[in-house]
Structure 1
Amino acid sequence: MPCRTTSELNKLVREAKKHTKQGKVADYIPALAKANPKELSVAIFHHDGLCISAGDVQQKITLQSVSKVLTLALALMDYGEEAVFSKVGYEPTGDPFNSIVKLENNPSKPLNPMINAGALAVTHMIKGEDSGKRFGRILSFIQRLGGNPSINYCAEAAESEYRTADLNRSLCYFMKQHGVIEEDVEELLLIYTKQCAIEMDCLDLARIGCVFAMDGVDPITGERLIPGHVARLCKTFMVTCGMYNASGEFAVRVGIPAKSGVSGGIMGAVPNRFGIGIFGPSLDEKGNSIGGIKLLEMMSAHYAMSMF
């Protein structure tokens, strides 16, 4: 679906772009190191199907940690809240997303599904006969959410992440030792790295954000894609844990459910109004898009987005 541009949104993007020079791209994943740190784009997908944008919104980006929200929704649909949260907790953490510290303190379960340990535990729960079919279910679900059957994963990014996933391997083996996961670690990492490498453009990302904004209903077809209580649970985690260990400050300054990824993507959901897809690969020290967060701060003030 085409997007129209507006002078006010273009102005906000130009202003936010000035901050990109203060960050750097995620060079610890070789495939992500190729991104241009000066880039910044945004799409806003309204509940009535109207879309506005600024920047190169058709450029493909990998989901990375944004995928954690989507697999959480699928796992909750597969098993229900009680089963999922017997394996992973509800609580935010002040530690980095890839930290093992809290896992050592409470080895029975990761603190929440938005940190790497929790996301790995959630992916472990996705149903399917083998790793290929389990990833196929994740991909098919995300294609439905985005209304785009051409959404796929980037094989280069997946392979790059798989080769450099030693810290995630450590998290998996720690959880396997304590019974949180019960499968072959390499099989799980194959699914997880492909999940993180699913790629789409900002328009797809904004449309998925709009599904969450509308409590699980597709804004174009009116079809319910996610049960309302599942969508609301996911949005709650986006508020409390979605921006890594900057989630509290983000809630104060922006005030919407959002999830970031180290590719520079951010998916936002403004309840009952619209979804947001942002790409800005220059990251701050906590792994969030530095230009994207500044843009969302300005948008929140300009469009009165905060839910608080």
Structure 2
Amino acid sequence: MIVDSNLPLIKPLQTAATPPTTTPFQSYLTSLHEKYLSLDDGAIADYIPELAAAKQEWFGISVVTTAGKIFEVGDSDRHFTLQSISKALVYGMALEDCGREIVRSKVSIKSAGESANTVALDEQSKLPYNPMVNAGAIAVTDLIKGNSTTDRLNRILKKFYLYTGREVNISFPVFLSEKAAGHRHRALAHLLLNYGAIGDRIEETLDLYFQHSSILVNAKDLAVIGATLANGGINPITKERAIDERYVRDVLSMMIACGLDDYSGEWAYEVGIPAKSGVGGGILAAVPSKLGMGVFSPLLDATGNSVRGIEVCKDLSRKFGLHLFDTVKADKNLNEWLDSNESADGW
């Protein structure tokens, strides 16, 4: 179903009790929010008119553990569109629909070395570089099965429901804006068609691509999605499986390799957590077996990533030793901070 973004969303996520605000971890998140709220570097995306309406003061942080604990601060319930973050979930869905062999025959798994919006394919394979660049995401979207356009869209919405634990809707104004401004995507689609990476239903596949990019979420949703991936594909709140466990590794691998576009190498070095960003201002991150993080702030850097979101994730990774390759003892024990109900004085 496609709805206007001004209409209320239905079926709020049924969550476990939120930990007391006096926990050290909750207090630390509050301090991070206060620390970076005044950071006004970057700019709001304006190439899509609807995105330009965002306010620079919007800023939300949420963390959800694989045990189902929820922490949040700021504008964690404010809705925005997924944009490129949807690429990771649709990639996982294509793997479930078609299997690794077919997906690998349509899209490579190489670091692009160029902008996600590049109108170019890998010179050797004549395929998109990876599922996180626009060309790769179009090819992956084309693989989603269904008897009709509506059926394919409904299957995607159902999949996202499993990840978030609530019904999600599409912002009709954003979808129309993306569709009207999507000339570069049409060029990519015809290039893909020329090399056999997609079929000839170009407009249908592009509509589906623009629609899943226009799904409305909030920072808490991103954290639940991240926690679901961190939990082997099982939503820690609803206990429902969102993705086949054997494909979780594929999704997380692409996220850490290519999830932040041109900034992906620096992200892997500095933060070291599988993540995906979108020009709507969201960053989704998943720390395997531990937690998911969702940060929303629409101020973007030159590479199209949330300025505040990157800084928040850097701080969390450093303080709690969340980097996948960090062997140094963390500054603070994450489990103790998550479980403690004592005052955060002294952190």
Structure 1 residues 107 and 28, CA gap change in structure 2 (3 angstroms): farther
Q: Structure 1 counterpart of 2:146, which letter?
A: G
Please give the alpha-carbon distance, in whole angstroms, between the structure 2 residues aligned to 1:128 and 1:237.
25
1:203 and 2:241 correspond? no
Q: Structure 1 counterpart of 2:74, which letter?
A: G
| Alpha-carbon contact 1:107-1:175 (below 8 Å) kept | no
Shift of 1:61: 1.2
What's the Cα RMSD here?
A: 1.4
Does the residue aligned with 2:50 lie in a helix, a strand or coil?
helix
1:16 and 2:36 correspond? yes
- Render the CA deviation track for 1:198-252: whole Å, top value 9, x for unaligned: 0111111111111100111221343333122201110000000001011110011
Q: Structure 2 counterpart of 1:188, which letter?
A: T
1:305 and 2:325 correspond? no
Please give the alpha-carbon distance, in whole angstroms, between the structure 1 residues aligned to 2:305 and 2:256.
14
1:252 and 2:272 correspond? no
Shift of 1:268: 0.5
Shift of 1:303: 2.2
Does the residue aligned with 2:284 lie in a helix, a strand or coil?
strand
Q: Which residue of 2 aligns with 1:69?
A: 88
Please give the alpha-carbon distance, in whole angstroms, between the structure 1 residues aligned to 2:159 and 2:231.
17
Query: Normalising by the residue count of structure 2, what TM-score does the alignment of the two structures yield?
Result: 0.85
Identity %: 38
Please give the alpha-carbon distance, in whole angstroms, between the structure 2 residues aligned to 1:220 and 1:15.
29
Return the match for 1:173 from 173, 190, 200: 190
- Render the CA deviation track for 1:13-47: whole Å, top value 9, x for unaligned: 2222333x210011001110001123221110111
- Render the CA deviation track for 1:128-166: whole Å, top value 9, x for unaligned: 1221111111111001111112x1111111111110011
Structure 1 residues 37 and 3, CA gap change in structure 2 (3 angstroms): farther
| Alpha-carbon contact 1:107-1:178 (below 8 Å) kept | no
How many aligned positions are there?
A: 305
Give the alignment of 1:283-294 within 5 angstroms.
283-294=300-311
| Alpha-carbon contact 2:165-2:238 (below 8 Å) kept | no
Please give the alpha-carbon distance, in whole angstroms, between the structure 1 residues aligned to 2:149 and 2:87.
17
Greater C-alpha Rg: 2
Please give the alpha-carbon distance, in whole angstroms, between the structure 1 residues aligned to 2:97 and 2:183.
29
Return the match for 2:118 from 82, 92, 99: 99
Does the residue aligned with 1:30 lie in a helix, a strand or coil?
coil
Q: Which residue of 1 aligns with 2:139?
A: 121
Shift of 1:123: 0.1
Please give the alpha-carbon distance, in whole angstroms, between the structure 2 residues aligned to 1:238 and 1:229.
16
1:273 and 2:293 correspond? no
| Alpha-carbon contact 2:122-2:128 (below 8 Å) kept | no
Shift of 1:178: 1.6
| Alpha-carbon contact 1:16-1:292 (below 8 Å) kept | no
Please give the alpha-carbon distance, in whole angstroms, between the structure 2 residues aligned to 1:13 and 1:187.
41
Query: Normalising by the residue count of structure 1, what TM-score does the alignment of the two structures yield?
Result: 0.95
More helix by share: 1
| Alpha-carbon contact 1:45-1:274 (below 8 Å) kept | yes
Does the residue aligned with 2:44 lie in a helix, a strand or coil?
coil
| Alpha-carbon contact 1:108-1:179 (below 8 Å) kept | no
Please give the alpha-carbon distance, in whole angstroms, between the structure 2 residues aligned to 1:292 and 1:208.
16
Please give the alpha-carbon distance, in whole angstroms, between the structure 2 residues aligned to 1:235 and 1:184.
29
Give the alignment of 1:27-106 within 5 angstroms.
27-101=46-120, 103=121, 105-106=123-124
1:141 and 2:159 correspond? yes
1:243 and 2:260 correspond? yes
Please give the alpha-carbon distance, in whole angstroms, between the structure 1 residues aligned to 2:80 and 2:52.
13
Q: Structure 1 counterpart of 2:298, which letter?
A: P
Q: Which residue of 2 aligns with 1:158?
A: 175
* Segment drifting more, 224-233 vs 195-204: 224-233
Q: Any gaps of 5 or more consecutive residues in structure 2?
A: 1-14, 326-347
Q: Which residue of 2 aligns with 1:264?
A: 281
